Copies of this chain bind each other. A is one copy, B any other.
């Protein structure tokens, strides 16, 4: 893998920021809030699945909402490998920012 993709990075960053239970719909809400753009539910779960299959997050089944709705949540947490990827992504941007392309 060359780099974390855009949506993988944003989703992973958000997972690392949210405290307490982290689940798909909550991530969608926060991502919409911070980016000011619409996120379809698929555009959250697809990268989530991919992040999990790459080992950057792990998930387990949580309890159902205490609110009206029914279905139980899938809760996510970032792994050590996931944190490392975020660090590398940040480092890439720092390198880019300070790069002097001398000819």
Contacts and interface: CB of A to CB of B under 8 A. Distances in A.
Interface of A: 2-6, 10, 13-14, 17-20, 26, 30, 33-35, 37, 92-93, 95-96, 99-101, 103
6 contacts: A13-B96, A17-B99, A18-B101, A19-B103, A34-B96, A35-B92
Contacts of A95: 34-35
Contact of A93 (B26, B93, B99, B103): B93
Listed from nearest, the 7 A-B pairs whose CB atoms lie closest are A34-B99, A18-B101, A30-B101, A6-B6, A17-B101, A34-B95, A13-B96
A30 B96 contact: no
A61 to B, nearest CB: 20
